[in-house]
Amino acid sequence: MDKDRQKRRLQQKIRERSLAWREVLKASRPFLALVLLGFLLAFLFVKPAPPMKLVMSTGREDGLYHAFARQYQDFFAKNGITLELKPSQGSGENLRRLREKEVDIAFVQGGIASSRKQEGMLSLGSAFYEPLWVFVRSGQMPKKLTELAGLRVTIIQESASSRALAYRLLAANELGEQDVRLIPIDEMEAAGALQQGKLDALFVITAPEAPIVQVLLRSPTVRLMSFTQAEAYHRRFPSLFRLTMPEGVADLARNYPPHDTELLAATANLVIREELHPALQTLMLSAMREIHGGNGFFQTRGEFPAYKDSDFQLSPSAERFYASGPPFMQRYMPFWLAVLAERFLILIIPVLTLLLPVIRFAPAIYHWRIHARLCRIYGELKFLEQDLNQAQAEETRLELIKRLDVIEEAANRMPIPLRFTDLLYTLKAHINLVRKKASGKNGEKIAKESGFPSSRE
């Protein structure tokens, strides 16, 4: 018996909870509709998940841009993203590919863009400096480009943009093809030709990590020209930066360079299509920080990436990255998990904002619905009592008692949680009071006709 009683009590509790939840849900329908609307509106403003593949335009396949891009490729692969690399002839071709939407991101040398070319493109910032290296034979020590007049000079074709920059600087010094003997020579042979005296000077615009720069910096028969007019060049060409190569930084044992050397440098910038997913922008910025953020000949730790070239507007994602670093979740979670969590938060915050009032007022709504049911029956009971006061004929009273039976049956069928049972029994007591009033002096007769037992029975 005890087990049966416990089973019935358990079933009763389950019914009570189920009933309570149904009542809350019914009462909360308008609020839940509002929550659903908020969720849909939030979903419209949430960007879709980032694509699994990104295409990058680099530079010559044997050049430094492409070498750095391979490091980005490895970084992206660790985060589950495929970075496809497309070699090019330099910044000009990279800009064309961005405009025509052939690629998502590309290297662009600072100073070559025009306002017309900026449409639909944003900058993630500069990744590193690309100094202009002018190497000369030991017997030559020019301090100005004008002193190269009449000498045998070659310009290494690292890219079309680098070559164009070298020509602009020569033209600014009023040096044309008739003044400088430009010798066409392959990059692989240029360093040897300069060391052997077949050339007098060599121009190359590239990062310090480039193999030709490393070879020539350590060559005993070659010297690096210092730009004594570096500040003047910076004023004339704002995209060129003045850099100081400290004494001995290339070779401490040989103390090379033997004194601080002034150089000019462009910047290597990463430019994107403006519709590139913000999460991928942040991931690329993290790759830039990891690959280019260390110490170097011309930079201190943490100097790159940075917004140094203003030819392109800085991406909003990059602006936030430079101000506060990667998003909070990307600092402590794998990339894909962080992206999912961020999208979930964007969706769930407005939903919670609307749902909290529902949760807060749910008990009050629940109580209101239960009392509303009881009040409806009390209203019918009140109208019946008014009709009873006006009734004279016994047939009318009998009809009213039948209406009272219907009211009582509705009260008996009403699903009321256990905690509100006292209100239900109070209602039944009031129904019995009205029933006694309806019986009046002829209560026994009316009770028999209506099927109810008399007081004596």
| Domain final residue pick, 326, 348, 377 | 326
* CA 181/CA 332 separation, integer angstroms: 58
Alpha-carbon distance 420 to 370, whole Å?
8
Q: How far is it, in rounded angstroms, from Cα 271 to Cα 105?
A: 6
Identify whether 224 is part of a domain: yes
| Residue 418 maps to a domain | yes
Query: Would residue 42 count as lying in a domain?
Result: no
318 and 405 fall within a common domain: no
Q: Which long-range contacts (CB under 8 A, 24 or more apart) does 240-247 make?
A: 240/111, 240/132, 240/264, 240/265, 240/266, 241/129, 241/265, 241/266, 241/267, 241/308, 243/129, 243/131, 243/298, 244/298, 245/297, 245/298, 246/297
With 0-12 CB in 10 A as exposed, 13-18 as middle and 19+ as buried, what is 387? middle
Instruction: Kindly state the average pLDDT of the residues 141-153.
Output: 89
Give the pairing type, strands 53-57 and 105-109: parallel
Q: Which of 277, 301, 326 is the last residue of a domain?
A: 326
Assess whether 116 and 202 both reside in one domain. Answer: yes
Q: Is residue 17 part of a domain?
A: yes
Position with higher pLDDT, 354 vs 448: 354
Find the helix packing angle between 316-324 and 278-292, rounded to 10°: 50
Are 319 and 374 within one domain? Answer: no
279, 384: one domain:
no
Structural domain harbouring 185? 53-326
* DSSP state at residue 251: B
Measured CA distances, 153 to 64, 79, 123, 178, 262 (Å): 22, 46, 34, 12, 20
Strands (E), 3-120: 53-57, 82-86, 105-109
DSSP state of 225: P
Task: With a cut of 80, say whether residue 35 has pLDDT above it.
Answer: no
Residue 44: pLDDT band (50, 70, 90) is low
pLDDT band of 40, cuts 50, 70, 90 = low
Same domain, 289 and 431: no
Beta bridge partners, 223, equal 136
**pLDDT value, residue 304:** 94
0.75 exceeded by pTM: no
Least confident stretch, 76-80, 288-292, 308-312: 308-312
64 and 14 both lie in a single domain:
no
List, for residues 251-270, the tens digit of each pLDDT value: 888 888 888 999 999 999 99
pLDDT for 443: 45
Q: Are residues 6 and 78 in the same domain?
A: no
pLDDT of 429 over the 70 cut = yes
Task: Give percent of the chain with pLDDT exceeding 70.
Answer: 79
Report whether pLDDT(449) > 60.
no
Determine the Cα–Cα distance for residues 359 and 143; give it in Å rounded to an integer.
78
- pLDDT by residue (tens digit) across 363-376? 777 777 778 878 88
Domain boundary among 268, 301, 326: 326
Residue 452 reports pLDDT greater than 50: no
CATH number at residue 239: 3.40.190.290
- Split into its structural domains, the chain has a count of 2
Task: Mark whether 108 and 64 lie in a shared domain.
Answer: yes
pLDDT, tens digit, 9 for 90 and up, residues 52-98: 999 999 998 988 899 999 999 999 999 999 999 999 988 889 999 99
* Whether 236 and 320 share a structural domain: yes
Collect all residues with Cβ–Cβ distance below 8 Å to 63 and sequence separation of at least 6. 158, 159, 206
- For residue 338, tell me if it sits in a domain: no
d(C-alpha 202, C-alpha 194), whole Å: 7
Considering the domain boundaries, does residue 38 fall inside one?
A: no
Asked if the structure places residue 79 within a domain, the reply is yes
Q: List CB contacts of 114: < 8 A, sequence separation 6 or more.
A: none
- Confirm whether 47 is domain-assigned: no
Closest CA to 82 of 283, 329, 275, 270: 283
Residues 66 and 178 both lie in one domain: yes
Q: What is the pLDDT of residue 455?
A: 38
Express each pLDDT in 410-427 by its tens digit: 888 877 766 777 888 888
161 and 204 in a single domain? The answer is yes
CA distance 18 to 338: 37
122 and 219 in a single domain? The answer is: yes
Q: What is the mean pLDDT of the chain?
A: 82
- What is the H or E stretch that residue 351 is in? helix 335-390
